Structures are given as C-alpha cells and as structure tokens.
C-alpha cells in the first residue's frame, strides 16, 4: 500500500508511535523514526530493519525549528523525499488550573502544539517542493474534545491540535496535501499515571474494552492511504464510542 513512500513518525516510543511506525513499515513504507531520545528512535528503527523493511532513526527536539528542519532534511537525503508525516509526540503532565507548574504548562504546549506546528511546517515545505501532494496526520485525543479535570495543559494543547488540523487542511489543500487528525482514548500505556489504570473494564467505553495501539495505528494508516483520498480537515475518533456517548 505504501511501497516506496517515505513516512516520518514523531515520538516513536513503545506505545502508539512505535506501533504506527511498525505498521507503516509492514505496509511497505520507508519509515523515519523520530524521537527526542536517541535510544528510543534507534530501537524502533532497528525493530523495523530486522523485519527487512527500511528505517532511519533521527534524534530531534521538535520544539526546535533547527532540529525539525534538520530531521526533514535527513529523511529526504536518505530516502529521497517525504510523503507522510505523523505528528504523535506528546507529554502529559498532571495538574489543575490552580496547581499546574508553569514549566509543565509551557512544556506541554511546546511539545504537543508547537512541535506539531513546526514538524508540519517543514514537512509541508518539502511536500510542496516535491509537487506530488502528501499527507499529514496529527494525533489528537478525546481529551481535546471535552473538559477534563487534572490534565489542563495536555487537554488544552490537544484541543489546539484539532484546530491546527483544520487550519492546515484549508491552507494545504491547493497543494494536494491532506491533513487530518486521529483521536485516541485510553490506548496503550498511559503517558501519565500508572499502567494499572488500563486494567479491568473501562468505565465509559461503550465497546467495553481499553484501546489498543493497533487500533490507532490501523486508523492512521487508513487516513494516510489512497482509500481516504477525499478526506481532509476532519478528526477520526478511535475511542470505542466514548465521545458519541457524551454531550
């Protein structure tokens, strides 16, 4: 499905991002595994390479314009272009309006919102220069669709990702670049808190189970594929029905 296509995935740790990278590789893509931690990027790239697929590990701080520009250039110099960007990297500091530390507030917005903006900017520049279209998928969250106590920085940043997705879709449509988002709910290992929070039956999911990283990866691959060629500026909730059952 993605043979010869070049896909850059940010935040390729052993959770949703890593699964997205592996799933694209299994579908023929050449994958750039970007992470702020070099050992994580290298581990995911090696895991993909060990299957016979092509992968490149890139270490970058996505809040740095210079780092992001270099990462895109590394992808292009290694694989010859860039066709798909998946903005997955995120952090999730705990805290309310009253007690969130300012450094946590700024860090969440910088990684989730500014990082998505910068990666999309340089990826879009490359896609426009190639004149072959492209796809950008942003990983949002059900937290960005509704108020959530105790995660104000994360939820606010993810809400911004949803609007950024719509704005980019409108700006880039003329260049044949589609931009969409995918909103997971409680999938894989929590970014914050204990893994025990994924045990048992989820209290609010109508489908009666926690999300799996494969649920999100398959949705992202679909949205990036030609099967979704007429979809842009929208969000795909992969949440077991959680948002549908809430006002």
Q: Which residues are known to be catalytic?
A: 154
Residue 107: CB atoms within 10 Å: 16
Residue 13 token pair: 């740790």
User: Which residues face 180 on adjacent strands?
Assistant: 137
- Distance, in Å, from the CA atom of 178 to the CA atom of 2, rounded to the nearest integer, reads 16
The DSSP H or E segment spanning 19 is helix 16-26
- Distance, in Å, from the CA atom of 90 to the CA atom of 133, rounded to the nearest integer, reads 26
SS3 85: strand
What do you get for the CA distance between the two ends of the chain, in Å?
A: 38
Which conformational region is residue 211 in: left (phi greater than 0), alpha (psi within -120 to 50 degrees), or beta? beta
137: CB partners within 8 A, 6+ apart: 84, 85, 86, 87, 179, 180, 181, 182, 220, 223, 224
CB-based contact 23:214 (threshold 8 Å): yes
Burial class (CB in 10 A: 0-12, 13-18, 19+), 229: exposed
Residue given tokens 């702020």 in the structure block: 36
């Amino acid at each position: 499905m993605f043979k010869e296509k070049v896909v850059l995935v940010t935040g390729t740790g052993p959770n949703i991002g890593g699964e997205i990278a592996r799933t694209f590789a299994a579908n023929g893509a050449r994958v750039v595994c970007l992470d702020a931690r070099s050992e994580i990027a290298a581990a995911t790239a090696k895991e993909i390479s060990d299957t016979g697929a092509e992968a490149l590990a890139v270490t970058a701080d996505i809040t740095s314009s210079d780092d992001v520009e270099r990462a895109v250039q590394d992808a292009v110099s290694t694989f010859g272009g860039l066709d798909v960007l998946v903005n997955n990297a995120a952090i999730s500091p705990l805290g309310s309006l009253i007690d969130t530390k300012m450094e946590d507030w700024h860090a969440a917005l910088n990684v989730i919102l500014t990082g998505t903006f910068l990666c999309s900017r340089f990826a879009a520049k490359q896609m426009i220069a190639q004149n072959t279209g492209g796809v950008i998928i942003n990983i949002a969250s059900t937290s960005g669709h509704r108020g959530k106590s105790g995660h104000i920085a994360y939820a606010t940043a993810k809400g911004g990702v949803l609007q950024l997705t719509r704005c980019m879709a409108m700006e880039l449509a003329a260049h044949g670049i589609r931009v969409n988002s995918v909103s997971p709910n409680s999938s894989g290992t929590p970014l914050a808190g204990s893994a025990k929070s994924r045990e048992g039956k989820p209290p609010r999911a109508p489908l009666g189970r926690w999300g799996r990283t494969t649920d999100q990866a398959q949705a992202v691959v679909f949205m990036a594929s030609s099967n979704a060629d007429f979809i842009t500026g929208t969000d795909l909730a992969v949440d077991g029905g959680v948002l549908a059952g809430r006002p």
